[in-house]
Structure formats: C-alpha cells, structure tokens
Structure 1
C-alpha cells in the first residue's frame, strides 16, 4: 500500500510517499480501506513543528478519514466487512467529559494519510448512506469541535462565528439547524456573500470594523450574543469577551491570531463562561452524524485532490485563502 510519512518536520517537502505492507487486523481490530481524508489546521501546525504536543519525525499525518471495512479481526462485533465508517478524533474517548490528553493521530500515533489502516473497532463510527465519504472525512475534528462549542444552543439564541475556516462554517450550519441566529465575521464581501448563502443572518467585515464587538452589540440591541465560537485566540478574544452577553459563553476553539489578551476586569464584567473545547468524543460524532442526516446538512468543501497529489492539497490548505474543507480522495 501507499502511505505518506512526515519524515522531517518543518515543511511540505518533508512528506514522503512510501510503500509498505498492508497490515492485518489483530483481535478487536478492523482493516479500513481509506477512501477520503481531510486537512485541519492542527495538521499544518504539526507539519510546521508549531504544535506543542511532541510531534515525531516519521509519523503518518492526518486525523480525519472515512472508508470501508475490508477485514475484521477476532472478537469484532461492531462492524462487518463492507461497512462504511468514519474515525473518531480522540483515541479512547468514547463518551463523558474530557479527562486527559491522550495520544493523538499524527503525533504519538500514525494518522490516516494511507491507503489502508488497522484500528480498534471502538475508534470507528458507522456512516449512513446519505453521507458521502468525502463529507464524512471532514467531520472528526472540525465538525465535532463546532458541535461541542455549540452544546446547549437553541432557538431564539444568538451565535457569533469568526471567519470561514472549517470549524466556523460548521458552526454556522449547526447553529442555524438548532434555530439560532448567526452573526459571522469575515474579511471580504465575497466571503460575506458565501456566509449569507450558508445561512448567516448578519456578516461583519472585521477589516472595516476592527472593533467588531461594537457592531455585534448594535445588531443585538446592546445585549450581545449567547455564544461565541472563538477560533482566533489571543488576537480576537478581547473582542469576543466584549461581544458576549452577560452570562453567555465564549467557546475557546483555536489560536489562529496573535494579539492582546483581555484584562481581568473585562472578563469579570462579562460574567461569561470561557470554555476551552477539546474537540469531542465518539458519542459526539455519532450525535453529529445523526443531526447532519436529519437536517440534510452538507459540509462545505473548498477543493478536492487525488491521493497521489496530496502535496498540492497541503499547499492549497497552507495558503489559507479557503472557504471550506480541503479533501483528499482515493480508492474510489
């Protein structure tokens, strides 16, 4: 089989296409023929060496994949040959609250940038026929993160999203499916139009309104939003705290932007909850898939690349001028 390994951390040139034997599933494991994968910001951070979780040379990258069960080991009861599956993001986290930083794909464990992979049956979720392999491959990291960031949101509430990355676009779709009103930020009129087409009720250009929390307050009659899906980190957190309603929640998802952290008094006066989001567990992925199927929601895909041309997918993703997910397909 063909498999990509990040032989040297630091650049896309460190990715090497190798040939290795197809593995055999052990007890409790299944062999997955991988059909699609997708790229996330964490993958780029691992490749560049900027993620502080002990990346290792020689690992197979990527955390998100979908495919077909090709073989099963002894004792497998959850899946059979021919089943369509997608992997959960955090190995070993089936349900319940986040308790520890476990091993991660692409860091301490080989990821999914391969034609085949063996995996414990507990790390997979069944995929309904209504969701394509390409769509499914976008779900484990970005979509589940958005799902977790929005837990508890319902009709007549207001949600603020930032930009047009994978998490933010999923957050727009899921918030609208829950009956909430969405205010989104972006940097161009083209992306603003795309966000409106996706369902955003209001869009604020943060280049024209650098203190965009003021525009958020104006749109909400001074109250602010019930939930902020905060993907920027230090560079946007001050505005998020000023945009959130008293008693609301800022879901801390990403660290994309450098900048000034809000002061203690800003946080105190907001009376808001600042909640770090640890993606989600296998049950979250199962619940998310059920919601997507029920509402017929389609993940936004920016571009598609063939497995043998994966380096082009990485370069497209690294350019960061995206609207949706970058997907790599194979074995179709």
Structure 2
C-alpha cells in the first residue's frame, strides 16, 4: 500500500474557548523515526477530556496547537529501523500517556498525553513510539478497539491498579458513560456484584442487559448512596466506587463506600467543587484516589482480559466519520450518547 504524503486531520488551535477551536485541515503524513511505527488509523473515539480541551477547561499539560484525541486503533504500515516488537500488518491501539510504561505515573509521563501535548488520533496516519502502542484485542473491530485507550484503561486501573478487585466484591458505577460501562463489564467478568446509577428507565435497561445486579435512579432517589449501601452484605458498603460526577455525586459515594473501600475519582461531570472535606476519608476510613488513565503494563493485562472474556465495548449507535468529527463533539457534549462515541477513519 502506497503511503501518501498528506492527510486529513483535526487540529485544536488554541485561540478561542469552544469547539470552534477545532480545525479540519490538511497535514503532512509524519516520517517514521528509528524507534517508531507508522499507523494507518482506522478508528478513534472521544472522551470527556477531548471535549473540555478546546473549551479551555482541561487541568493537565497541553501543547497547542495539537492534533485532537487520544484514542485510536489501526494497522502498522511502516516500522523504524530499530523497531523489534512490531511488524507491518500488526493491529494496535494507542497508549494514552506515551511515557507511562509501568508503575505509578510521574510528572514526565503526565506530559506525554496524546491529543493534549502530543499529536493525537483524529487523523489518517500517526507515528508513535514502538512502546506507545499496544496489541489490539483479536475479538474487537478497529472501532471497538479505539475505545480502550482512555476510558477502558482508566476503568481497569480503577479496579486493578491499587488493589485488585476480587470475586464477590461490590462495585458502584455511575451512569452510562464509557468509563462506567467498562467498569461494569470488567467487574462482572471478575465475578463481582455491580450496583449502577442512572437517570432514566431506558438507560436502566441498558445497564441490566450488561449485567448490573441493581440499578438505582438517582433522580428519583436523592439518597442513593445509602440505598446502595443497603444493597450490600450486612449493609457494610461497596468495595469500589467509580466516581465520575464530582460535585454532584461525591457525597453519596462517601455514604456508599465500605470501610477500607476505594473511591476512584475519574471525572467531574457534575462540577469540580464538591462540598465534602478530605477529612471525610478519615470518618469513613476509606481511600480516595485520583486515576489518570494508566500504564502500558496494565493496558496489556486489560487486553488479555478482554480477549479471555470476549468483552465488547459499548459503542453508541451513532458512529461518525473523520470528516464529521466536529458533530461527534457536539453530540457527546449534549449527552445524547450511551457508551463510547466512535469515529471511523478511512
């Protein structure tokens, strides 16, 4: 296959503070360094993080202008002269923080995020370090695999990065976004009980079909944290909370958590100014942990589990193309989606 010299790509310009920051333009297909691979990208997906970068709300390092998005999957079409672990034709998925290989994240690794500091995946071709991609699960299409980079790995890290989830434990997930649905699927595959919250009967049915043992409508039950606790053995509380709401949900997460349980802070969809003090961790005797995606080593473990359990990511019914990616941003911002918002790349 002949590799072209130019390509289409979406660039975040860094001038205004809205989706008008996104520019669909021509760019050069990057040259491969000696330790890099060139990937023909076939799929991408969006995260909340991708929406707030052009809106000027992202709290981590940026290097604008930058090619947008972190999540991508495709096929290696060229390898650098010193690359030993990959060959042409290999199917791969991008690693979110290119420098985060194993263990805890450090300052240097936090500054290697795709679509933020380094050029991302909303383009037709991308070069990545040979250690900046992971083998794609054999059971997934490129569009499905492209959802794993951020939401999938973040969920896996929340459940396995600090203290591994065990069969019989209970996990509380919030809503039907990508991170929460991945956590639900990973938890059920591990033999855990899952309690899920949602705002509608239709979304409740989606959660039940994915295996949620209990579903609570948080609009109807304002004290859903206590309700969740009451659903656990002896009312002891849940072992893990996948916390994505921030200001709107943290109080209830504290009410739900078990003594010595873990609340993994992943997002702040409901606002970033929770009313709870850090001292709540003492009165509840729990761990509250910020999760910033995860390392390559954990991602490889996740890929193995996805294959072993034939897990398929939940992808919203409306799939976009590279040329209509701006519409995908608007669609996700309007909260019209269930699961991951995917983009196919020709």
Q: TM-score, normalised by structure 1?
A: 0.96
Query: 1:94-133 to 2 correspondence within 5 Å?
Result: 94-100=101-107, 101-133=110-142
Q: Is the 8 A contact 2:8 2:25 kept in 1?
A: yes
CA, structure 1 residues 11+28, in 2 after alignment: closer, same or farther (shift >3 Å)?
A: same
Q: 1:89 to 1:260 in 2, by over 3 A?
A: closer
Which residue in the other structure is 1:137 paired with? Answer: 146
Q: How many angstroms apart in 1 are the aligned matches of 2:111 and 2:61?
A: 12
Which of these residues, 222, 228, 246, is aligned with residue 241 of structure 2?
A: 228
Larger deviation, residues 47-56 vs 135-144: 47-56
5+ residue gaps, structure 1 = none
The residue correspondences of 1:74-89 to structure 2 (distance < 5 A) are 74-89=81-96
Counterpart Cα distance in 2 of 1:134 and 1:282: 20
Stretch moving more, 36-45 or 269-278:
269-278
1:207 and 2:219 are equivalent in the alignment = yes
Secondary structure of residue in 1 paired with 2:53: helix
SS in 1 for 2:319: strand
Cα 1:90–1:260, aligned 2, differ >3 Å: closer, same or farther?
closer
Structure 1 residue 9: Cα displacement: 4.1
The 1:43/1:242 distance shift into structure 2, 3 A limit, reads same
Q: How big is the shift at 1:57?
A: 4.0
Pair 1:299-2:306 in alignment: no
Match of 2:8 in 1: 2
Q: Which moves more between the two structures, 60-69 or 14-23?
A: 14-23
Deviation at 1:288, TM superposition (A): 0.6
Structure 2 partner of 1:245: 258
Partner of 2:295: 281
In structure 1, the partner of 2:157 is 148
Verify the 8 A CA contact 1:235 1:261 in the aligned structure 2. no
Counterpart of 2:75? 68
Work out the number of aligned pairs and report it.
Answer: 331
Q: 5+ unaligned residues in a row in structure 2: which ranges?
A: 1-6
The change in CA–CA distance for 1:15 and 1:218 in structure 2 (over 3 A counts) is same
Aligned counterparts, 1:13-92, within 5 A: 13-92=20-99
Q: Is the 8 A contact 1:69 1:82 kept in 2?
A: yes
Structure 2 counterpart of 1:165, from 155, 177, 180:
177
| Alignment TM-score, normalising by the size of structure 2 | 0.92
Which consecutive segments of 4 or more residues in structure 1 shift more than 3 A? 54-57, 263-266
* Distance (Å, rounded) in 1 between the aligned partners of 2:228 and 2:8: 49
